[in-house]
Amino acid sequence: MKRLVVGARVLRGVDWKWRDQDGTPPGVGTVTGELRNGWIEVNWDHGGANSYRMGAEGKYDLQLADEPQPTPPPNTSGEGSDTDTPSPAARPGRSGLAASLLQALGDEGDSSTAKRLREEIEQLEQQEAELREFHDQEEDDEETMEDEGPTRKSWEDDYVLKQAFSALVPAFDPRPGRTNVPQIQDFEVPPPGSVELNSGASTALPPPTHQGVKLALSIRNGESEILLEDGSRSIFYYVQLLHTSQHRTDRLRRVWDNTYTLVYQDRHSPTSRGWSVQFVSRNLGTERLPKGDLVQYLQKRAKPSWLKKWKLQGSTKSIKKNKNCPQLITAYKDFCSSEAHSLAGAMRQVTDTDHLAPLGDCLALLRKLHSLSNQGGEPGFEASPEEFHSKKLVNKLIQQIHDPLSLASGALPDWCHALCSAYPFLFPFEAREIFFNCTAFGTSRSIIWLQRRRDDVLERLRGSTPRKEDQHELQIGRLKQDRVHIPRNEDTLAWAWAVLRTHAERKSVLEVEFVGEEGTGLGPSLEFYALVAAELQQRSLGLWLCADDAPDDLAREVDIGQGLKPPGYYVQRSNGLFPAPWPQDSADLPRVSRLFQVLGMFMAKCLQDGRRVDLPLARSFFKLLCTPGREAAGGETGGEGLGGDESTQGPLSNRNEESEPNQPVSNRSPSPSPGTPDLPAPDPSENGAELIPVGGAGSKDAGLLLAGAGEEISKDGRGKEEVVLEELPAGESPSETPWFAGILGLEDLVEVSPFRGKFLAQLQSLVQRRDAILGDPSLSPSELARQLAALTLPAHEENLPGVHLKDLALTFVFEPSSKVFTFSSHPLKPGGDTIDLTTSNAHEYYQLVEDFCLQTGIRHQLEAFKDGFDQVFPMEQLQTFSPYELQLLLCGEQTPEWSREDVLAYTEPKYGYTRESAGYQRFVNVLTEMNADERKAFIQFVTGCGSLPPGGLANLHPRLTVVRKEAHSLFVYPSVNTCVHYLKLPEYPSEEVLKARLLDATREKGFHLN
């Protein structure tokens, strides 16, 4: 491959499939462009030109043509004509200059000078040959290491550093002869159960370890310099930070008016912070740190007044003579303290928000008012959500995300993330959705979002004007689409595990095609997501809460993906799906946790690729996803840190970072942020959380405030272990406190498990009455005993007497509500099966049951869910939405509703139908009369998903188009192109026939040409 350069001669190779593009008969061509993304340009001798695969898709279309080796010129001197040995001047591989010199020396005969020059030339040639051989060997080694795995590339002066985006392919160039890499590429997925899949999704080798000097990278502007400590931050972020930390007069200049220098040096060399005091104290005066180096450093960095104070002005030689090591160490300690003070002052200019305290009070008041409005408000207080929106903040946020450099480099101001997460009511849902889509999924997706927004603006400005041919030059690239092929069979979840596990960390779009079917594009992909969503709702899996004694109120015969299933096959509950608690030492827990990991990757992929999925999760489950728990808010323990790859845009939680003792830290990036105010903590009544992060998102000493108070709470920074399903034994806790601690409460348990939740609520009321009796000092002992004995739970019917706890014969044991769970009981505490429930221990009982149902019993499942979700993008990005908004983003409108007017307004009859056609009017009438299940089946048939986007048919794009399909009998069925919502409908004679044929078509599975 190293010989495949511009000018090389090539001919068709082993993987050639391009017919006679190289001429008839096959000829030879010349390489005219460099190898790029596995493709190379060739001009053929017969006049044609095109691009061919040389590594792309694992194929090699070309091979080097075998050129004849040049022969030495014939010997015309007449001497030595009977031998094949070439003359010294004509030796192959000899440079023209060397040949000319030897030819000239040959005329001088055997003089001593000529002999000496010949020997020197031959020695130089031998050294040149050895160097060339060594260079070729180095290139071979580098090429071999590139094939085997990642390696370190040697520096070259003409090597151009470019940012590579793994999810982007070069922008399409329509001009003839240009290289165009296919946007859709096949992605190989190991089949379920294969060795490659079981060994892990990542096949990349670990980064090589190199022995040598460790470098530190910093950025400098004049006398100011900042160390680039956070590898997840872009250079532009530090440019902004450096610019903001300058003097006020300098900050008025534009960012790029200054010159910034990147400095790399030995970590033990002085940076802007200098050597450590310990290093200077140990090594000053030795070879590691001569006195002259320290003096020169201080003279370069310190102010003249400081140098005059310590008498360090003058020549280095005189200072070395007059100052001993202890004096220089003392001076350096003073310099470090003053330098640290100066740096702290600069950082205070960035993060000091004392003058913004009224802003924090205002935000806290707005949050309280918004909470009151959500709860119905006080008498006389009414406020709509629109009244809390800040138009100025919305405009400022939109302005920030339309800055291409800040957005693509992840250098948005931290207030954007902080306000959207902590005070989402300040922004309308549409603005937060835009912010989420352009920041949550990594740099590649941000670039694509910017390009699409710019194209939309250009289209509006251009109107009917034809598109310019050079517009493609403004494009950085296109979003890559990975196409996988899977069989349509009963192993849907196994294939989903294989596909999602291997594709989770990729930022390209996932497209699915079914083996043996012609369908391609959006339709089959949505069908795959719908099938996986249906399989995850199976009752037999034991994932969700369900009850045998109280059948699901929505249980019915239904087809949601795998054909018509009987009542009870799926978990169908009006209050939605919520994880069922399991003993954390159960043998079935690894299987259940693995399915929740699949669910996490599945939901994150749906959000990343913009795929709606009909998954009826409970509101409390969405509450877990978009609400920070105690851990995220700085509770007792830290949490799982988030990686710094391209999926991390801006400041995200970094709970793995260790903090110093008694040093409060923020749950965001440790680097100071340009201009981030400290913000008051959100109200716990907003979304059920008691604590959430506050303060500058990038400020390490921002602190965490108790809701409604000014008490700072520190966090010890302990991180939880990664959930590995194959290695984590059942019952072993990955951390002491789960990430979702403190989010859900008794009201959520009443919602997801009404029978058990209402019983616990009654038990809680009984405990409160008991405490009130015990706290009444006016009661005599006999009256106290009588009232305690009279405590009962209310009966199901009003006319019946209450029930005493002892009559229930309950113990401290949790019993599941269905036989699909493979355990019959679980003690809530050691020896719980021998402890009876009484009024004296009722408080402990309902706390243990609530804790098992909402925390300890679902711990492994939710840890695995978050582990799978975070492989796609950080789940903390969802905190900008409410549970209802998140449900709309993921699932759309799960109960499609429309009126006759909606169908007429938002469907388009074409090609054989008009709005007055009898066949189209029958179609409108049939759609209007459909029940809920039939509507879901119809939407699944025409769009690939059983739910509509938020807003219903009005927001379905492209619009549902109905065209006439030619039919010679009544047994021709409707067909559809799901990608463009294109329904081909025969004109049936009656509404009854039309409805029967349409519903029959919705029950058919598969994508075939029609």
Whether residue 506 contacts residue 166, with contact meaning beta carbons closer than 8 Å, is answered with yes
Contacts of residue 127, Cβ cutoff 8 Å, sequence gap at least 6: none
| CA dist., res. 878 & res. 431, Å (int) | 14
CA proximity to 867, closest of 744, 748, 738, 742: 738
* DSSP string covering 841-868: THHHHHHHHHHHHHTGGGHHHHHHHHHH
Outline where 696-841 has alpha helix (H): 746-752, 754-774, 781-789, 805-808
Question: What pairing do the DSSP bridges indicate for beta strands 39-44 and 215-221?
Answer: unpaired
CA distances from 213 to 183, 268, 287, 845 (A): 42, 9, 17, 61
- Amino acid 769 reads R
Helix (H, G, I), strand (E, B) or coil at 983: strand
Q: Are 301 and 274 in contact (CB under 8 A)?
A: yes
User: What does DSSP assign to residue 469?
Assistant: G
Q: How far apart are CA 677 and CA 351, in angstroms?
A: 6
The DSSP letter of residue 38 is: T
At 747, list the tokens.
Answer: 């009201």
**Quick one: tokens of 75?**
């010997």
Strand extents, DSSP E, 875-936 = 907-910
DSSP annotation string for 487-527: --SS-HHHHHHHHHHHHTT--SEEEEEETT----SHHHHHH
Q: Please check whether residue 984 is in contact with residue 963, taking contact to mean a CB–CB distance below 8 angstroms.
A: yes
SS3 36: strand
What is the Cα–Cα distance from 22 to 43, expressed in whole angstroms?
Answer: 9
Q: Which of 420, 438, 546, 979 is catalytic?
A: 979
Q: Are 702 and 678 in contact (CB under 8 A)?
A: yes
Is 979 part of the annotated catalytic residue set?
A: yes
Angle at CA 294, nearest 5°, toward 289 and 295?
140
Q: Which of 996, 967, 720 is nearest to 862 (CA)?
A: 720
What does the alpha-carbon distance between residue 530 and residue 615 come to, in Å, rounded to a whole number? 9
Place of tokens 């290289």: 179
What backbone phi and psi angles, to 5 degrees, belong to 951? Answer: 105, -10
Cβ 420 vs Cβ 627: under 8 Å: no
CA distances from 543 to 537, 546, 617, 834 (A): 8, 9, 12, 29
CA pair distance 727, 351, nearest whole angstrom: 44
Tokens of residue 766, six digits: 């009984």
Cβ distance 631 to 741 under 8 Å? Answer: yes
Supply the residues annotated as catalytic.
Answer: 979
